[in-house]
Amino acid sequence: MSSAQSQVKPCHEEEEEDPCLKALLYSSSQVFPRILHAAVELDLFGIIARAGPGAYMSPPEVAAHLPARTPESAEIIDRVLRCLASHSLLACKSETLDGGRTVERRYAISPAGKYYVRDEDGTSVGSLSLFAFHQATIDVWLQFKEAILGGGGNLFQKVHGKTIFQCMKEDSSLNKHFNDAMAGLSTTQTRKILEVYHGFDGIMTLVDVGGGKGATLNMIVSKYPSIKGINFDLAQVIEHAPSYPGVEHIGGDMFVSVPEGDAIMIKGTCHNWSDESCIKLLKNCHKALPANGKVIVMDFIMPDEPEDTMASRYVSLLDNAMLIQPGGKERTEKQFEYLCREAGFTGFKVAARAVSALGVIEFTK
């Protein structure tokens, strides 16, 4: 008696962009961020990374590092790791054991997954997940419909009765998760920018407006030690900023004035503010620059038309996230040029792009 042959194709042979499957996937899109959040909280990426470069670990080996374990831990960890691997955050290889009765999967850090491994400063993009799932943030997203119906605006304040920065003063965990998220994001982005942008050559004094505690400027000055760096932010922000060689911390209000330099950097700041506020800031920068000085704006650039690319999807997500901020938005290249001209600058150039969509834009006086 012959065995029947299956006529059903494996799922990977199906059309990759099947419309129904895509709709089903997006309808469950809230699940993966929660799985990723748990993986970050449990430091699963760090556990695997510490096994060594290119090392693969089995689920029981990973589970052995958990702070609490049950007889089911290895099986549950396998399910979590398999999901992360299906999103290209881990690599996976399988081995058949017990004469074909058992398949053991082993997992390693993938090129994308390495960004979830904390660096020597304890930062990673995984910090963004911890901030996103803080209860104060979740409460705001549950009311996102109100941002659409209410014309945008500061949804965080509408939900909590105070701005996010006021809440951070009262909630130490929110403050930590926010600052860790910004540090992880900024460090990752700056490394990528320094790979592709060479416009810091020849700069003597570089002012970083809204530079936080100075980590970004420190990375730049470390690569270009001839630069004198001025890290400029609110007094309460720089109050506890660490000391960096070649970097001076100055407190103040960027909407009043900014320190002088032959170049001024504004990274990840314009998208927080309305056009009117950005133009006011840029005019202050214009006053602080010498002839032929430049402002270096680092922000994501929105494509003019939606594109079915990772870059376009990511910037669109950021743009919608900014609906909860007063006037915040991502901008197209043309919209950045409008800000440039309105502030009195004569030269405009997208000098480089990192990770496809992160623009480095020069406004020249």
Q: Which residues contact 325 (CB under 8 A, 6 or more apart)?
A: 154, 156, 272
Q: How far apart are CA 39 and CA 83, in angstroms?
A: 11
CA distance 177 to 192: 23
The residue count for the chain: 365
Query: Please, is 149 exposed, middle or buried when counting C-beta atoms within 10 Å of its C-beta (0-12, 13-18, 19+)?
Result: exposed
Q: Give the residue numbers marked as catalytic.
A: 271
What does the DSSP 8-state code read for residue 265?
E
Pairwise CA distance, residues 276 & 278, whole Å: 6
Q: Residue type at 154?
A: N
Residue 330, both tokens:
């991502």
Tally of CB atoms within 10 A around 350: 14
Distance between the two ends of the chain, CA-based, in angstroms?
85
DSSP string, 298-316: EEEEE-SS--SSHHHHHHH
